[in-house]
């Protein structure tokens, strides 16, 4: 394919994308393809000779759309959304066309400098203080790993980078059972170990208990172990738990420990001033992650980490051999030194397009609608005699279960998703299987949200 052919097929692809989204609401949300059906339909090995784009395009249409769960479907209420506003898709097309590798400033100056500007725009939009700067990672998993690695090295006075962890004190991290599994993965990958990620019990509001955090840190120090940091939860993935940020940061700071806050989903809601009480005290954190690709409409992948003191993370993750230096320049920002991968996509462009094309007020109104519709839906489901609301709405997330127990709940979930009109997922809360409803798809309407009630009413007749 040459660039003339690319222009031709890009127009065809744009028309396909338009038609795909036009009738997306009429498709089943979740893929109904039998396991291995797509794989078995593909040849066992790559062709030796070129095939025509007409053949490739026909096979794409025959195999791929039917084998996809449609994440942009307006009735996708599972997991958290991976939203993609149309203007964000447009920006990604331009990024794909330029195909830059923004590993250091000189390889893509605009990519670095737009990213710097977008961190300021987002910091102001979320009401964070000027002490924070930031960078864009691929996902919150990478941001949390970067923060945990920095905690590790700070605790070891940066000796672990050269000497490794053998012979070092046992490091300890503290979090609650409501945090995302990415925190567990970070403890494992950082070499701290799963057993040294201490899960502090929560109170009735599902916040980590400050008294038990303080006691655990003191006990570990008395036992000769080395506390390294605290990870807090703002909008947990399971049921939307919120740690009491101010109280817990006070305990951590008294103990001399850094704090990373995982606000991957709920952080986007903080563009609405009325929701900021949910992370009151956030200004005391050392690191905060939130995902614009979850609730603001920035196409996946786009995870923003705000950092109070980037020098510590750069000291941990930065590595600058001679071939990555920028000769004849004053010190420049090279964002690869703030994260794990060297290679970096131009993720900031979609944020720039998105924030300009929608403006903060439109984005705020979408989030406010999602929260209000979630509450209305929860109230309607509470009136169905077979259902029990297990956790009340935390922003736009709540859970329910069938009153007849776990088997009935699991059967109901299967019937909901086999029906195809909406898509929900499950979690376990306090050792109970529950069904999650999370409203947050970028283009959903009130009618789409209330379809959950319609489907459940019919299935429970």
Q: Domain residue spans in the chain?
A: 17-84+365-461, 101-345
- Check pLDDT > 90 for residue 322: no
Segment 134-164, tens digit of pLDDT:
999 999 999 999 999 999 999 999 999 999 9
Query: Please, what's the largest Cα pairwise distance for the chain?
Result: 74
Q: Which residue has the tokens 């009130």?
A: 446
Residue 93's pLDDT band (boundaries 50, 70, 90)? very high
Mean pLDDT of the chain: 93
Res 118: pLDDT: 96
If you average pLDDT over residues 379-391, what whole number do you get? 97
Q: What was the pLDDT predicted at 40? A: 93
d(CA 50, CA 108): 33
- Is pLDDT above 60 for 450? yes
Tell me which residue of 114, 440, 443 sits closest to 268, measured CA to CA.
440
SS3 of 177, please? Answer: coil
List of E strands, 240-386: 259-262, 287-290, 303-307
Structure tokens at 242: 């919120």
Number of residues that make up the chain:
461
Whether residue 220 contacts residue 172, with contact meaning beta carbons closer than 8 Å, is answered with: yes
pLDDT at residue 121, as a whole number:
97
Average pLDDT for residues 258-274, to the nearest whole number?
97
What pLDDT, on a 0 to 100 scale, did the predictor assign at position 329?
54
Whether 17-84+365-461 and 101-345 share one fold: the answer is no
Predicted local distance difference test score (pLDDT) of residue 102: 82
Fold of the domain spanning 17-84+365-461: 3.90.1150
Q: Are 228 and 184 in contact (CB under 8 A)?
A: no
| C-alpha to C-alpha distance for 381 and 368, rounded to whole angstroms | 20
pLDDT for residue 104 = 82
Strand partners, 429: 432
- Report which DSSP code applies to 201: -
Q: Distance of CA 387 to CAs 118, 133, 241, 369, 428, Å?
A: 44, 45, 22, 24, 16
Q: Which CATH number fits domain 101-345: 3.40.50.12280, 3.40.50.300, 2.40.50.180, 3.40.640.10?
A: 3.40.640.10
- The count of C-alpha atoms lying within 13 angstroms of the C-alpha of 459, restricted to the half-sphere facing its C-beta, is 24
Q: Is the pLDDT of residue 331 over 80?
A: no
């Amino acid at each position: 394919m040459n660039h003339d052919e690319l222009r031709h097929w890009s127009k065809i692809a744009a028309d396909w994308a338009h038609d795909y989204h036009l009738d997306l609401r009429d498709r089943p949300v979740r893929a109904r393809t039998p396991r291995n059906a797509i794989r078995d339909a593909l040849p066992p090995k790559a062709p030796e000779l070129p095939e025509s784009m007409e053949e490739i395009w026909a096979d794409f249409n025959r195999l791929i759309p039917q084998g996809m769960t449609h994440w942009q479907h307006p009735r996708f209420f599972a997991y958290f959304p991976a939203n993609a506003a149309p203007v964000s898709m447009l920006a990604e097309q331009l990024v794909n066309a330029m195909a830059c590798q923004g590993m250091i400033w000189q390889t893509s100056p605009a990519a670095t400098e737009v990213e710097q500007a977008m961190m300021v725009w987002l910091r102001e939009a979320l009401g964070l203080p000027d002490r924070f700067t930031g960078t864009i990672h691929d996902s919150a998993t990478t941001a949390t790993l970067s923060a945990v690695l920095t905690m590790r090295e700070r605790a070891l006075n940066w000796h672990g980078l050269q000497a490794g962890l053998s012979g070092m004190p046992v490091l300890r991290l503290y979090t609650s059972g409501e945090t995302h599994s990415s925190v567990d993965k970070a403890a494992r990958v950082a070499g701290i170990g799963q057993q040294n990620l201490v899960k502090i019990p929560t109170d009735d509001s599902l916040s980590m208990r400050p008294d038990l955090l303080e006691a655990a840190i003191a006990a570990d120090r008395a036992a000769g172990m080395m506390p390294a940091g605290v990870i807090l939860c703002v909008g947990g993935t399971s049921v939307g738990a919120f740690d009491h940020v101010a109280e817990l940061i006070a305990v951590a700071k008294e103990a001399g420990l850094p704090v990373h806050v995982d606000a991957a989903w709920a952080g986007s809601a903080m563009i609405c001033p009325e929701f900021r009480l949910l992370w009151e005290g956030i200004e005391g954190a050392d690191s905060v992650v939130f995902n614009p690709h979850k609730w603001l409409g920035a196409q996946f992948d786009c995870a923003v980490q705000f950092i109070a003191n980037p020098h510590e993370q750069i000291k941990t993750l930065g590595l600058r051999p001679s071939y990555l230096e920028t000769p004849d320049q004053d010190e420049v920002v090279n964002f690869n030194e703030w994260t794990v991968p060297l290679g970096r996509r131009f993720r900031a462009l979609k944020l720039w397009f998105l924030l300009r094309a929608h403006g903060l007020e439109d984005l705020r109104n979408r989030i406010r609608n999602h929260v209000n519709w979630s509450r209305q839906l929860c109230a309607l489901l509470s009136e169905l005699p077979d259902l029990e609301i297990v956790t009340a709405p935390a922003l736009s997330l709540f859970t329910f279960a069938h009153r007849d127990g776990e088997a009935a709940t699991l059967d109901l979930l299967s019937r909901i998703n086999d029906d195809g009109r909406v898509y929900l997922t499950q979690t376990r809360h306090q050792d109970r299987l529950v069904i999650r409803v999370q409203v947050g798809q970028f283009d959903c309407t009130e009618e789409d949200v209330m379809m959950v009630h319609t489907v459940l009413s019919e299935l429970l007749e």
